[in-house]
Structure 1
């Protein structure tokens, strides 16, 4: 598709007109439940003698719509407010404002689509990008951003600490860029994975995408919490939250974000005992994000095993894996399995792959994609396969593959078994008993038993009570101590890494049911009858009774348009009703998507309304 962008500045405004609302060049308006957005032009004519204000909108150079308001003066001033709609599609709109017959303002390449925000430390902004890699000028005209990201390269002064004025002054939209130009600023910088994610979503939903990246290099989680005395401050480290709030607000995207991404934790993993407050601090952040940004879903990343931080990296990872269980609208994304990991960061190819993974997951969660393998596999439970205790079955939430051994490392050696006699710090937490989390080099081989289960064949019978997977970023064997980086791992059928985990209890025998396993099948847990339907259908969540409360704490049910717009929202608890009536009154015939969200997992089903 040929795309034309027009960069025309607003005409010089006559002194007798002031605007309170006016679109800007390249602005993205977040679409509403009608798959459109309202473009408002409002203000006051301060001098009598003019008769009317006209707003005209063109779509791809062709007349689209217009509205005229006659001016009524009071005390020599005439207020005006005109509202016109644009549609969410891959199309540019131009807005012209005329006072009588004179054009007084214009905004070009205005679009309607979906918006997202990113925050966190260095992997949120994709540091160490080399312009020679060819990413410095990589852009997509349908991916937009707003303002100055305030990120600086290593040769420049980190002015976000001392002087936020460049960011305050930059209230302009632009085409998103994957790499900061460094000096003097970073206008519309979103990072490589942010831009690739947006491209995947644009291709899936066929709408423009906006991304605002408010991350920074380094920083423990507390730095991102709003300042208690001045939450709107833009200065220093205390202004991290305020600066993202400022940009999202000025972009008019507050409470209109589809999702917010949190990629952080390396700084906390490198500090002893910081894991003890990580979940509680995340909750403070979550509540502040929800209040200010009003996103529909939040995604946090599970650290890579070789992320910076020599102590407690694995504990922070386990907390990040478990956090979604406390929220109906939070999910996690593992970094393990991504290529090109170097120390705490990734090569450009790794960030590109990260963006692809995230984009595929959101296309599944928001836009009804049924692409298999995009949801990261998570451990559900483990048990001894027989009384001999020489094999352990581990069950995952998604189909998995056992990756071939590589780089001189063996996947079987990444599993640790912990016996109760080895516990040295009982009571520290329910998943952190000892620094090494048990013995390695005790598994002889492993394989996939069926699509969602693996079997560990032990070298000898064991009485271990817990099993862990990749407890730290170092590979140990008799002769080798090397960083994990791109070593073998458990993956989904699409190659997405499975979450690492700590000290999952090993049952002495196979569970009586496999309900937890079934809950991840896309068509299992949600049914709708009748389907097709008119005007209502009963949505039922099956299998909820058998789910353990620590695995599934109720779920949120959403009904979405095929474009991913939320139309209805319901909540189902473990102990409450498991069937709801969806009344499609006011909706048109077509396909709709039901999404059940709980414990960071999203299940979808399509329904058809025929009138």
Structure 2
């Protein structure tokens, strides 16, 4: 039985009931008016003071409680995470709206929905930061950066045509973001989807189907804040110039682009606007705009790349003679832009690495805020978030500045522990900030660098397995990159090494190796043989060496060296020498291979046959740019692999070498199940650097560059043998005794050492 009802409506109340300029809100709920309350204080109905909206409790749950003095002595409805009020489905859809809620959260964890529906919500979750959801898309929330502290007036303004939503607490903007349209007319007070309740008090709810102008908003909010004793923060100072484009400190301009300032004078007392541009503390240009002839401030200037800082200053002279400095943007640079994507090894920290003053990034790593659009100096202190670009990314930027004399900007979208599929773009919204790709691409577009990226570095794969068909998954990402980065020319894939993550990584690494054979703009590098590996990540030295190697690659390719010495060595042929139990591996991109030996393992432990990691060669050795493997008697392998998936099969300890590198220390690309081609006469590359002996077997063919038609072999006991040179190759006679021989070129007389084995 209802014992009392609040009917506190008067002319004065209606004047302050949200009706501004004679336009009443769709819904205006006030806890001091039009309530039906039982004797125990439980609410049975709540009617809007404008329109016909009426809210009633869902009796499946506990009815909310009326509190006469809840928010600074004023009435409110108390919710205890166990009930809500349901009203008519009149919330504005596919159009503008303004929503106000006066509330106090009691600090308890829950979904804490204030005024929501079935796919739309204004809620707190487990924090004092208000959030707005549209279309059930939790990946594209508006999220306030302003925490509620006690009784709060939250304001939500949504502009349907642009999707722009402004979320404010006590007149302070906490987020200004683009989110999906609202298609949900339902109104639930204290609930989302008839569950997900609220802990706290709600005193007032106001819903308009339009955006209030500045005067309407001010007048209504003055009354609202005064009624509850909640301080309304002053409106922001009127900007002297309304800027469309204006640089800030650490701003980055790509080589070949212009510095742009574009805005409109907004203060009638401004007489002139002066813009000055300095380069390394020397003024290089000044512009003066007389507001009598133009209110437009439009300045453009082509900047030049190099190790110098630009500074922009904008001064406004007022009619009373005062001069206001309205913009100071210093430490601006002009250089090149690069992109990085991947999982943790793409962004892992190097906290002691100092950043070049010319290294820049834009926004923050995996930011989900559309307001996160400032340039900053790159750093590598943390493994993600903030202006971090990763240890090797920063090392790369430092090299570009120190050795090429250019500033750079890296936008790193790497996120730890992620599969390649998690890096795909959303099919519904390419710049969905809740996705890794969308957050990264949004930063690209907002910085105007998406069309400037020519180099992209991809380091990912640990979280995938060899059964995932990595090459097919990569193709989807490759296609997306080329769709969004119109001038992309070079994609560097860093092949992972044995360590944490998925299974069957030997096959996955081989998929990565073969990407450069599939795509003409892909270069596969490798993390194999880098020092300091801990099973998942690297020490600072490992990431620094990777940065050094990738810079060498970048520099060589940019200088036009298509046969770059910084390309990772890779297998091009695997020959099974007939009747010799011998496999010869031909390696490209290396003149002289090197062995990084471990204390307990020999070279043959890095290889296996027929996909069986326990079927190893009996012996292995390196000659020039070739690797020789002797397979066990009684076997006839058909494929060969380099580097096991994860652990040494005999010790079950993570494989940490031995490794094969080139003369620069760049690791040989891991390969898996490469078919063996049976041949009777292998052709072996002769090393071009003087070092150890050329190790060959009788009957083998060696490439040997010489202008002589014959070579002389001299054994240690003085025996001489003459062999013929045919098309820069020599055939080791099968009757030649085993042992060491000096090779004497009759033209150059330069000796080399040859070791003939079985």
TM-score of the pair, normalised by structure 1:
0.67
For 1:85, the equivalent position in structure 2 comes to 302
Q: How many angstroms apart in 2 are the aligned matches of 1:445 and 1:49?
A: 84
Shift of 1:296: 2.7
Secondary structure at 1:228 match in 2: coil
CA distance in 2, matches of 1:306, 1:375: 23
Q: Deviations over 1:322-374 (max 9, x none)?
A: 12222222211111011111122112221122211112211112245799742
- For residue 305 of structure 1, report the CA deviation from its aligned partner: 2.1
Return the alpha-carbon distance in structure 1 between the equivalents of residues 554 and 442 of structure 2.
25
Alignment of 1:98-497 (within 5 A): 98-99=315-316, 103-126=325-348, 134-135=352-353, 138-150=354-366, 164-165=368-369, 168-180=370-382, 186-235=385-434, 239-269=435-465, 273-274=467-468, 276=469, 278-294=470-486, 295-309=488-502, 311-367=503-559, 373-385=565-577, 387-399=578-590, 400-418=592-610, 436-437=611-612, 440-448=615-623, 450=624, 452-460=625-633, 463-477=636-650, 480-485=651-656, 487-497=657-667
Quote the Cα distance in structure 2 between the aligned partners of 1:27 and 1:173: 6
Q: Comparing both structures, which one devotes a greater share of its residues to helix?
A: 1
Partners of 2:433 and 2:524 lie apart in 1 by 29
Name the stretch that deviates more: 206-215 or 371-380: 371-380
| 3-state DSSP of counterpart to 1:345 | coil
Separation in 2, partners of 1:370, 1:228: 37
Work out the CA distance in 1 between the residues paired with 2:312 and 2:561.
34
If the length of structure 2 is used for normalisation, what is the TM-score? 0.55
Classify 1:404/1:443 alpha carbon distance in 2 versus 1 (closer, same or farther; 3 Å). farther
Is the Cα–Cα contact under 8 Å of residues 71 and 80 in structure 1 kept in the other structure? no
5+ unaligned residues in a row in structure 1: which ranges?
Answer: 1-11, 151-159, 419-435, 519-611
In the TM superposition, what whole-angstrom CA distance separates every residue of 1:383-438 from its partner, at most 9, and x where no partner exists? 134x32322221111114230421311121222222xxxxxxxxxxxxxxxxx346
Residue of structure 1 in register with 2:190 after alignment: none
Distance in 2, Cα, partners of 1:329 & 1:514: 29
Separation in 1, partners of 2:566, 2:324: 53
- Cα distance, 1:176–1:13 mapped onto 2, change above 3 Å: farther
> What whole-Å deviation, never above 9, does each CA across 1:199-254 have from its counterpart, x for those lacking one?
1222232101111221111111111111112222212xxx1111111222222211
Q: How much has 1:38 moved relative to structure 2?
A: 0.9
On the 8 A contact 1:471/1:501 being kept in 2, the answer is: no
Cα pair 2:495 2:509 within 8 Å, conserved: yes
Does the CA-based 8 Å contact 2:604-2:619 persist in structure 1? yes
Distance 1:257 1:511, change over 3 A: farther
Distance change >3 Å, CA 40–CA 286, structure 1 → 2: same
Cα deviation for residue 292 of structure 1 reads 2.0
CA contact (8 A) 2:569 2:669 kept: yes
**CA apart distance, 1:22:** 1.3
- The one of the two structures with greater contact order (alpha-carbon pairs below 8 A, sep at least 6) is 1
- Give the secondary-structure state (helix, strand or coil) at the position aligned to 2:648: strand
Cα pair 2:594 2:663 within 8 Å, conserved: no
Show CA shifts across 1:469-505 (max 9, x none): 113222244xx332113x1111111001010111222
Q: CA deviation at 1:30?
A: 1.3
Task: Report if the CA contact (8 A) 1:305-1:472 is conserved.
Answer: yes
CA shift for structure 1 position 113: 0.6
User: Secondary structure of the residue that 1:475 maps to in structure 2?
Assistant: coil
Rg bigger for which structure? Answer: 2
Number of paired residues? 445
The separation in 1 between residues aligned to 2:545 and 2:274, in whole angstroms, is 47
Distance between the aligned counterparts of 1:469 and 1:141, measured in 2? Answer: 42
Q: Which residue of 2 aligns with 1:529?
A: none
- Measure how far apart 1:87 and its partner are: 0.9
Residue of structure 2 in register with 1:573 after alignment: none
Alpha-carbon distance, 1:145 to partner? 1.3
CA distance in 1 between counterparts of 2:432 and 2:527 reads 32
Aligned pair in 2 of structure 1 residues 68, 143: CA closer, same or farther (>3 Å)? same
Q: Answer whether contact 1:72 1:79 (CA < 8 A) is retained.
A: no
Query: Could you say what the CA RMSD is over the residues aligned between the two structures, in angstroms?
Result: 3.0
Q: Is the 8 A contact 2:344 2:383 kept in 1?
A: no
Does the 8 Å CA contact 2:617/2:629 hold for their aligned counterparts? no
Q: Is the 8 A contact 2:419 2:461 kept in 1?
A: yes
Contact 2:307 2:406 in 1 (8 A): yes
> Secondary structure at 1:403's aligned position in 2?
strand
Q: CA deviation at 1:52?
A: 5.3
Q: Which runs of 5+ in 2 are unaligned?
A: 1-235, 318-322, 689-758
- Deviation, 1:176, is 1.0
Contact 1:307 1:313 in 2 (8 A): no
- Contact 1:176 1:195 survives alignment (8 Å): yes
Tell me by how many angstroms 1:381 deviates.
0.8
In 2, Cα distance between equivalents of 1:372 and 1:292: 28
Q: Partners of 1:141 and 1:406 in 2: how far apart?
A: 40
Q: 1:19 aligns with which of 238, 243, 262?
A: 243
Residue 306 of structure 1: how far off its partner (Å): 2.5
